[in-house]
Structure 1
Amino acid sequence: MSAKNSSKSHDTRMPHAIVPPHDLDAESSVLGSILIDENAIIKVVETLRPKHFYKDAHAEIYQTCVDLYEKREPIDLITLPQALKKNKLLTEVGGVSYLTELVSFVPTASNVEHYAKIIQDNALRRALISAGGKINELAFEESDVDGLLDEAEQELYSVSRDRLHQDFVPISDTLQITFERLDELSKTKGALRGVPTGLKALDRMLSGYQKENLIILAARPSVGKSSFAINCAQYAATTHKRAIGIFSLEMGREQLVDRMISAQGDIDNWRITTGNLQEEDFEKYGIAAGELAEAPIYVDDTPGIGILELRTKARRLQTDKKIDLIIVDYLQLIRGRTTESRVQEVSEISQALKNLARELKIPVLALSQLSRAVEIRGGDKRPQLSDLRDSGCLRGDTLITLTDSGRRVPIKDLVDRSNVKILALDNEMRLVPSQVSKVFHSGRKLIYCLTTASGKKICASCNHPFLTLAGWERLDKLKVGDAVGTTMIEGRSLSDSIIPQLIWTYIKKVRKEKGYTERSFQAKLGLKYSGSARHKNGIGRARLLKIAQVLDDRYLYNLAASDVYWDKIKSIEMVGIEDVYDMCVPICSNFVADDIIVHNSIEQDADVVMFLYRPNEEDRVNHKLLIAKHRNGPTGEIDLFFKADRTRFFEAETNAPGK
């Protein structure tokens, strides 16, 4: 038979079923290792995800282990079955007997990282197969070729991005790199209780950065918050040998070390950056590099690090190096696990950093961006607590419903009151009673009045977040016609309320992830195919529930059964500058105000809030450090001056003690 005929004969045969790459033994070994060794999960949680497991039962077991780990609870044959049973998963994963089998499957946990890599590698292969299938499907669609290439690149990038990983690097290693780079450029002419800060007035006020405290240092861009934090770090490390961990999300470690050398050696930072050092600078550089090389400073400059990875790395660093202070630069660049909105994500991150400080029993200094409210506010230009980005304020007559009595009380009358319970939205989008930890006056701000189609009104600052289908959105990002979450609307019931048209964007995303085409999806719903015509309208709750069932999506389930009524914005009008207030709701991080669902303040998690600012924007030298909140001590203001060419802050001699 000719080769041609042989090939033809082969092509007509029934193809063998291809099983996706996986290794169930490796999966069982990882889970067994976690159950027999409490330190095993620390070695794998940073990189291994539930989605990497091939067997669904293994993914559920691992996710439950991660949940227990995050709560700092033990993982064993008592706690794990209880957690699985609570989530109604114990029977589904094989019961206690299967968990016992996992324990006996692996004799030692010493190879857990090797097993985890096998799982990750197989998951990567499956992801590549899936991406290839999607790209293949896209290629057959009649669409713009440029758009096709973009989608194909995104599919492959999403696979490669999942493997990005980076660890802490000792500063001594980086110093060698920067010195070699500098040498090359020059040839071409190119006793406190807490951690001391190096500023006497600040140390008197705070007694150093205290254990278990979350300290927020906020400023507008380019004011010097990074330099301030670095100055504190190198003083504590070089003078007092305190171990410092730095998560530098904004600057690479080489740039960070350049700044440290400049401040430590009193060398012009620009000459270091360009390599145009003078003769005496080399001697200073050598001395400064020697001092910093002996300083216990550890830097992780992973860009866009997630909060779970950050916490895991911090725990490991604390175990290995006994860290005294962690610095995060800066808060808004961290990725949270919540992706519904940036406001909710930042709130989750600030809570996680506070929990980290308490867990490791060390202070955490988190840098944060200030909103533009400082620049546009009339009168006093000093920053206020309400200026923290992703936080906002409400007018004093905003009515809050007390759940114990049903009375509606102005928010200004709740200031300094204790044991207050109000209505808030839980994770399943149900209205529940929730405890308030603090209600406070946050100064005077320019406010706007938002009016909905049903007649509800609320007056808030431009940066106060409101609930939308796209997540929490600031008032200044909303426009007429957008729908915001409210409580009951007179004359309407939950069953006949409509979910806004925007939900189709989310449904389309989930549909593609589940492998449905638009045609097969509509067929599954029992609908006649109509292309995307239905996407132009909102969805009733009954139909949304059916969609949730087909796609098996928890968010859509919650949305279909939620207590939220979606009310379109009729107008947004400027009111003027007035006294404003906000509140902290620790569990839900939101509350109902004037029957509209709004987010709460993010400063609730901080023990200390400091603002760095320039009284005169034209004066780049003189700065003030305002300690606006100090949970356990005095507040006040400190005069500083900034030597830009040395990237270093100095304390003015005229400072008075804090009041």
Structure 2
Amino acid sequence: MHSLDDARRRPPDAARVPPHNLEAEESLLGSMMLSREALTAAVEARIEHRDFYKPAHGVIFDAAFALHSRGEPVDPVTVAEELRRADKLEALGGKATLLRIQASTPASANASYYAQIVSELAMLRRLIETASDIQQMAYGLEDDVDETIDRAETMIFEVAERRVADSLVHLYPALEQTMDQLAHLYDRDTGIIGVPTGYHDLDDLLLGLQPSTLSIVAARPGQGKTSFALGAALHCALVARKPVLFFSMEMGHLELTKRLLAAEALIDSRKLSTGRLNEHEWPKLNQAVGRLAEAPFFIDDNPHCTVMEMRAKGRRTKARYGDLGLIVVDYLQLMTSTRRVESRQVEVSELSRGLKILARELECPVVCLSQLNRQLEYRQDKRPMLADLRESGCLTADTELTLADGSVTTMGALHASRARDVAILTLDEHLRLVPGVMTHVFASGRKPVFELVLASGRSVRASANHPFLTLDGWVQVADLRAGARIASLRAGLDLEPARDTIPAAVWDYIERKGLLVMGMRAHDLIDRLAAEEGGHHRVYAQGVSRGLMRRLACELPDPFLSDLASSDVLWDEVVAVVPQGEELVYDATVPGTHNFVANGIVAHNSIEQDADIVVFIYRDEYYNPESESRGMAEIIVAKHRNGPVGSTRLAFLEQYTKFANLARE
């Protein structure tokens, strides 16, 4: 069972075998089938499928780990059954292989040592692969040598970040460090203990931006997010004299520089664009240039910068100029992940998690700007709230949720009871129903909702941006049309084979897989399978039957097709999407799988972002030109993990694209 990934990770020099230890791999797997402590050792060592040199070992590990994550026993019998359900057991040699691995294990008590061997050798193989990729990049004579070096450094960091650090700390040295910090703060004159933003009322509320924290500054377009961040960053560089890294994915460095000059010199920003300055403004501009030239302010305007590249550049800047005062990222929705993920919601969550790790590793505050979706503009009160930050839609209060014991409750009931950590049913990566935990349900305000009506008779009412699962991934209600097929539960329905099929979109995947593995087109492969059995495989116009899918998965072989054939999902056809008016709506959070069952339909959950502080900018004049608050901005601290929430006000000097403090009474 060799995969393309396994082929790619072998070095170009076939004469040299990559470092590996099959005995250690088998001993770890055998230990996992003998002892729960061995499973814990594998978790602590962060072992995963790709760490095994032999692909079959990775498949066995996945099966054992899936059982463990569901709280089920792990032994040769249960692992064999898990593999059998996925149509992978026979390809691995049957239950006899599992029994042999278990019997040949020297001592399950040594599982942590086996895990360490497997992890270290896997890291060496990845290092060899990375070194080979870097070598090919260098031989490729790239035009931008600096960019090539940055990419190489990032690739090495990606290997290094998987090392398991000893993060256990005894309480005594932590107490000593805390007392030293308190003594230092006591001797200071100011109450600001972090990096000051220069916005006085905000600093009083937050006590400055604390090291190792992630702050999200969010607003709709045109509210002044970039100007707000530039003001805080410039204050850090000019007044606190600490290095600032400003990652801009929207504006180039020259445009940002003009903004900085306009704000610092108090010159109309339009004049800097046209060059029409009068004789009194040139001296002001020269003085501003002199001050800014001395500031440790660094701009990176690479629009494709990843979190790993930010980490590499941050480390390099810290090594050269000392501890960083602030990192700003403008803005979150323009960032992309380095790996494929199931949905944009999950991607944004992973990016914010990466920025939080960046803040902790570099021990400096990170401020990330975020653009809110337009849903808030449909409300009468357009002040942002936390629900607007979550990149997810919402469901109505009467939506029924399926609990882990098979009973049902509603979104409204869970919200009213303030229930936490509710055991629910969720869909895993193999499209199988498993127990999960819904941490909480929260209200998201009033929004326009639509009823999604399915051929099975099921329906659900959701906001336009709520995602539902299709074969091509998560798709929002606004993008679903009649004829689309989404995931609902097979359980509870009396299904005819003609309705229980996999969507026709899978043919493209089968075609590619058939050509790649067997050298034949999909319909040729189907004809051969039919001839071998002396019968005819029924292929429905709306998709592929489960029986045919099982045969295809065995012939190719392919785990994705196997998952589709054995899934708990009915790919239910959308009959209609009907507007229902505006209602109070709710959403929920399910860590890990990020989905739950709503009215028998698989719905995406809301994903929490890893921010310590969430700040919203609201300028009423943007929506109401005659507002009494013209020239004013409300700065709303909606989340503050280590302190109070509240709001402050700033003046917005539009001609200078600058926020300024109001005079204190």
1:395 paired to 2:405: no
User: Secondary structure, in 3 states, of the residue corresponding to 1:234?
Assistant: helix
* 8 A Cα contact 2:633 2:651, kept in partner: yes
Q: For 1:99 and 1:380, locate their aligned partners in 2 and report how far apart those are by CA, in whole Å.
A: 53
Counterparts in 2 of 1:485 and 1:97: CA distance versus 1, 3 Å? closer
User: Counterpart in 1 of 2:659?
Assistant: 649
User: Counterpart in 1 of 2:586?
Assistant: 581
User: Secondary structure, in 3 states, of the residue corresponding to 1:429?
Assistant: coil
Deviations 1:535-583 (A, max 9, x none): 9641223433454556665544433433332111222222222222222
Counterparts in 2 of 1:352 and 1:429: CA distance versus 1, 3 Å? farther
Deviations 1:306-343 (A, max 9, x none): 34444444455455543233222111111122244333
Q: For 1:549 and 1:300, locate their aligned partners in 2 and report how far apart those are by CA, in whole Å.
A: 50
Counterparts in 2 of 1:114 and 1:382: CA distance versus 1, 3 Å? closer
User: Counterpart in 2 of 1:562?
Assistant: 567
Range with bigger deviation, 337-346 or 464-473 = 337-346
User: Secondary structure, in 3 states, of the residue corresponding to 1:605?
Assistant: coil
* 8 A Cα contact 1:451 1:570, kept in partner: yes
Q: For 2:460 and 2:482, locate their aligned partners in 1 and report how far apart those are by CA, in whole Å.
A: 14
Following superposition, the deviation at residue 375 of structure 1 comes to: 1.9
- The within-5 A match list for 1:215-364 is 215-318=215-318, 321-336=322-337, 337-364=339-366
**Which sections of structure 2, spanning at least 5 residues, go unmatched?**
1-6, 21-40, 58-113, 152-189, 531-537
**Amino acid across the alignment from 2:507:** W
Deviations 1:518-537 (A, max 9, x none): x54544555499xxx98964
Q: For 1:399 and 1:161, locate their aligned partners in 2 and report how far apart those are by CA, in whole Å.
A: 56
Over aligned residue pairs, what C-alpha RMSD do you find?
4.3
Which of these residues, 135, 146, 170, is aligned with residue 118 of structure 1? 135
* 8 A Cα contact 2:618 2:634, kept in partner: yes
Q: For 1:426 and 1:102, locate their aligned partners in 2 and report how far apart those are by CA, in whole Å.
A: 26
Q: For 1:271 and 1:507, locate their aligned partners in 2 and report how far apart those are by CA, in whole Å.
A: 60
Range with bigger deviation, 264-273 or 542-551 = 542-551
Range with bigger deviation, 322-331 or 343-352 = 343-352
User: Secondary structure, in 3 states, of the residue corresponding to 2:620?
Assistant: coil
User: Secondary structure, in 3 states, of the residue corresponding to 1:119?
Assistant: helix
User: Counterpart in 2 of 1:596?
Assistant: 601
Following superposition, the deviation at residue 86 of structure 1 comes to: 5.8
User: Counterpart in 2 of 1:639?
Assistant: 649
* 8 A Cα contact 1:371 1:389, kept in partner: no
Deviations 1:362-414 (A, max 9, x none): 3322212211112223x2222232223622222122222332x4432222333
**Amino acid across the alignment from 2:412:** K
- The within-5 A match list for 1:105-184 is 117-120=134-137
1:491 paired to 2:517: no
**Amino acid across the alignment from 1:464:** H
Following superposition, the deviation at residue 248 of structure 1 comes to: 0.9
- The within-5 A match list for 1:88-103 is 89-91=52-54
Deviations 1:572-602 (A, max 9, x none): 2222222222222232222222222222223
- The within-5 A match list for 1:397-476 is 397-403=398-404, 405-415=405-415, 416-476=418-478
* 8 A Cα contact 2:19 2:121, kept in partner: no
User: Counterpart in 2 of 1:385?
Assistant: 386
1:627 paired to 2:622: no
User: Counterpart in 1 of 2:504?
Assistant: 501
Q: For 2:329 and 2:232, locate their aligned partners in 1 and report how far apart those are by CA, in whole Å.
A: 13
Q: For 2:19 and 2:597, locate their aligned partners in 1 and report how far apart those are by CA, in whole Å.
A: 35
Q: For 1:410 and 1:103, locate their aligned partners in 2 and report how far apart those are by CA, in whole Å.
A: 47
Following superposition, the deviation at residue 50 of structure 1 comes to: 6.7
Range with bigger deviation, 260-269 or 303-312 = 303-312
Counterparts in 2 of 1:393 and 1:540: CA distance versus 1, 3 Å? same
Q: For 1:52 and 1:245, locate their aligned partners in 2 and report how far apart those are by CA, in whole Å.
A: 38
**Amino acid across the alignment from 2:502:** I
User: Counterpart in 1 of 2:111?
Assistant: none
User: Secondary structure, in 3 states, of the residue corresponding to 1:240?
Assistant: coil
**Amino acid across the alignment from 1:610:** V
Q: TM-score, normalised by structure 1?
A: 0.68
* 8 A Cα contact 2:11 2:132, kept in partner: no
Deviations 1:144-175 (A, max 9, x none): xxxxxxxxxxxxxxx9999975859xxxxxxx
Q: For 1:511 and 1:81, locate their aligned partners in 2 and report how far apart those are by CA, in whole Å.
A: 39
* 8 A Cα contact 1:399 1:411, kept in partner: yes
Which of these residues, 542, 548, 558, is aligned with residue 543 of structure 1? 548
Equivalenced residues, count: 524
Counterparts in 2 of 1:296 and 1:363: CA distance versus 1, 3 Å? same
**Amino acid across the alignment from 1:504:** W
Q: For 2:136 and 2:448, locate their aligned partners in 1 and report how far apart those are by CA, in whole Å.
A: 54
**Which sections of structure 1, spanning at least 5 residues, go unmatched?**
1-48, 62-77, 126-158, 169-190
1:613 paired to 2:614: no
Q: TM-score, normalised by structure 2?
A: 0.68
Counterparts in 2 of 1:554 and 1:104: CA distance versus 1, 3 Å? closer
Q: For 2:288 and 2:440, locate their aligned partners in 1 and report how far apart those are by CA, in whole Å.
A: 46
**Amino acid across the alignment from 1:502:** A
**Amino acid across the alignment from 1:498:** T
Q: For 1:216 and 1:603, locate their aligned partners in 2 and report how far apart those are by CA, in whole Å.
A: 12
Identity %: 37
Range with bigger deviation, 311-320 or 254-263 = 311-320
Q: For 1:401 and 1:609, locate their aligned partners in 2 and report how far apart those are by CA, in whole Å.
A: 32
- The within-5 A match list for 1:367-382 is 367-377=369-379, 379-382=380-383
Following superposition, the deviation at residue 648 of structure 1 comes to: 0.5
Counterparts in 2 of 1:527 and 1:234: CA distance versus 1, 3 Å? farther
Deviations 1:152-210 (A, max 9, x none): xxxxxxx9999975859xxxxxxxxxxxxxxxxxxxxxx52222222122112222223
Following superposition, the deviation at residue 287 of structure 1 comes to: 2.7
User: Secondary structure, in 3 states, of the residue corresponding to 2:549?
Assistant: helix
* 8 A Cα contact 2:346 2:607, kept in partner: no
Deviations 1:594-648 (A, max 9, x none): 2222222234433322222222325473332222233333222333332222111
Following superposition, the deviation at residue 275 of structure 1 comes to: 3.0
